[in-house]
Structure 1
């Protein structure tokens, strides 16, 4: 299943500017612990806001989102805690077990800095249990027309629990992904992030991902391959569990497992046009101390003099999820378009609010758009409504007949980035 974003989503900007010789992209993956249905900890979205503001990723990849309401909560949090230009990919409920099971309340999603990335395509790779969500991105660089720089970001959540049966299910899910990856050019830039739920690198699922026989071979950026489960030798890459206290939701076993990963395609380690920054891989909030083994992440045993991650941050992490986020950085010699160029349309036309019920309120800061057409597109790129603009500075449009979901707004005569909004009836 593919969702193509039409050509108008490609950003055609008036001016380009060269700022630096090298650009950096910060990536974070996070298991959100059944957000928002898991409510044992009140107002934990505030904990997420602190975490995001502390790291400020450019790409924020998540699993265990329950519903569109939670997706919008997180979307608004990225905009306030990281950058107002953050956008989210299309929210799609899990398709893999539509006829059985209870996995339709566990979704993956991507949030991204729209000044740096444009979504070209969204793809679902189904399995017997949960989807792999694939996001085909293009970097918004000054030479994007003549030399496009592309990145495939894949988010997943493999089958949980120990035992040979569950390990086999994880392996079968990975085989479904490999079948899709075989359709891509072998030099494609790919990130694979998720809660893998693997207990050791000898599991078939993990070995298959790293196999040199694949069309696209993945590598573990920190190169910490081994038998992780309850093994203090790997405490520096542990990501679960942040808690020993009961009654908060999630697992309470203390810090003893490496379940969360970001893998890169082999070429991204040194030969691609966007590459992994050496030594940038971190489990965010993990100070790498053996004394933290089987403790809660906000324990004094998880910090020492000079530790990078403070008690305040670790307490927010402890309260929000039983997993820690995983982060890394990428770099490219290409140059991003400047924020000023990217936002050139925002001074001309803007929305009163990006989450609406029945009425779309548009602020127009020029009279030159009078009699131009305002076009509304759905997430598949289809034009679903067109309205004429008048000379008023604030204009109202009835969209009560449109279904709930994600939409884009553009003006026929303006060659600028479309404005995203959500209808939530």
Structure 2
């Protein structure tokens, strides 16, 4: 009786702790440099995969995505690292038809579907390029009674210096601001993109952050690095472009001297306990904040430091002329599947070396509905319906010899690996 009472107390303690859990989300924005059409660097994808493997984002936002093939290629790579990753629907740019019809640079978002639910996606047109709005809901135990939404907006403003380009950037931002007027003023908004601004005083940037302009949504810089960034080593830690000094790789050269890439949040996300950014979590991925890196290539020894290795910096150099920017968000809600992350949801009956029949024992607390079998490329080979059973027996006789992985969209657990050897 005493043992049962102790067990009950322990369960209650863990349940109580779960109610007050905090969950952090890792988000990343990256200008992927005309992916996949830019082919000056052979096998570029391997470098992106090294970057994604190192950071493992829960939300991954991109610009300069050329086509749906590129979108699917990145999704495949992400799903190999985390089978729960999904993407929004790929959509071609609809803006700028009356200017240059340069509709080969698109935005997209990828997300961990065990942590977020994509509620909607909307194209916001402008004079030059679309803004893409993705409304996410945190997949929490409280989502039915107290849903928490995050409005992710991905953009790519007009490039180049000069008053004419500044005016185009401002007009694009004004189109976004007008669209945001329709959102509730307490919306949790994350704006990520390649802004192409050279200083905080540029009208487009001021339109976003100036609290005196009576905007419905005002943005803040989580990095707290507002200033004149161009050619100013005081802002070396937030510089994102260019990663290169020599030609022949595609994209811009000239070395590290600009802050073009940003993640901004609405003001309320500084203090909102339901979803806020983590203080001091804003980072430029690959930037060691080494002042010697100014005007140098990111993979040079001048850019070395404790945070990012030469391996990662070389991958960044070879993949894009920009560096990604990252930020962590935090919620006080409890993810709906969080309680299962430490459970052994599935285990093999016998060995994980399979001849003809795969046998699994399932943890009933996990309440699995389906499991999937993936090959070593992350491709789904077979989906198995659980049907409230505690055991699965599945024939492997038609599958080729090799390594496979068992996953479930309902869990965040590490995939189980097994080998088919007939």
Please say whether Structure 1 and Structure 2 have the same fold, judged by a TM-score greater than 0.5: yes
- In structure 2, the CA distance between the partners of 1:216 and 1:204, relative to structure 1 (3 Å rule), is same
Partner in structure 2 of residue 319 of structure 1: 318
List alignment gaps of at least 5 residues for structure 2: 1-16, 346-365, 397-409, 412-422
Q: How does 1:355-366 map to 2 (within 5 A)?
A: 363-365=383-385
- 1:272-328 deviations in Å (ceiling 9; x for gaps): 520110000000000111100000000101114xx2111111000000000000001
SS of equivalent residue, structure 2 residue 166: helix
**Helix, strand or coil at the partner of 1:110:** strand
Q: Give TM-score, length-normalised by structure 1.
A: 0.78
Counterpart in 2 of 1:67? 67
Q: In 2, distance between residues paired with 1:329 and 1:252?
A: 30
User: Structure 1 residues 363 and 290, CA, compared in 2 at 3 Å: closer, same or farther?
Assistant: closer
Return the offset for 1:365.
3.8
SS at 2:237 equivalent: helix
Q: Does structure 1 retain, via aligned residues, the 8 Å contact 2:124–2:131?
A: yes
Match of 1:241 in 2: 242
Name the residue aligned to 2:180. Answer: 181
Instruction: Name the structure 1 match of 2:107.
Output: 108
Query: Secondary structure of 2:103's match?
Result: helix
CA shift, 1:79, in A, is: 1.0
| Counterpart-to-counterpart distance in 2, 1:148 and 1:67 | 33
Alpha-carbon spacing, 1:165–1:148, altered in 2? closer, same or farther (3 Å): same
Question: Partners in 1 of 2:84 and 2:326 — Cα distance?
Answer: 21
Q: CA offset at residue 271 of structure 1?
A: 2.9
Decide which structure has the larger Cα Rg and report it: 2
CA deviation map 1:194-246 (0-9, x unaligned)? 00000000000000000212111100111111111111111111000000011
| TM norm structure 2 | 0.78
**1:364 Cα offset (Å):** 4.0
**Where does structure 1 lack aligned partners over 5 or more consecutive residues?**
1-16, 370-391, 395-415, 418-425
Deviations 1:314-354 (A, max 9, x none): 0000000000000010111101122686996865365879x
Cα 1:349–1:24 shift into 2, 3 Å: closer
Number of residue pairs matched by the alignment: 357
Q: Flag the 1:240–1:345 CA change in 2: closer, same or farther, 3 A.
A: farther
Q: Is the Cα contact below 8 Å between 2:369 and 2:386 reproduced in 1?
A: no
Please name the residue that 1:191 is paired with: 190
Deviations 1:258-282, CA, capped at 9 Å, x for gaps: 0000001000011352011000000
1:261 maps to 262
Taking the TM superposition and a 5 Å limit, the aligned residue runs for 1:77-156 are: 77-81=77-81, 83-98=82-97, 100-156=99-155
Deviations 1:130-156 (A, max 9, x none): 100000000000111001011000000
For 1:225 and 1:368, locate their aligned partners in 2 and report how far apart those are by CA, in whole Å: 55
Correspondence 1:26-425 to 2 at 5 A: 26-81=26-81, 83-98=82-97, 100-212=99-211, 213-271=214-272, 273-304=274-305, 307-338=306-337, 348=370, 350=372, 363-365=383-385
Measured against aligned partners, the alpha-carbon deviations of 1:346-378 in whole angstroms (never above 9, x if no partner) come to: 65365879x9xxxx9864445799xxxxxxxxx
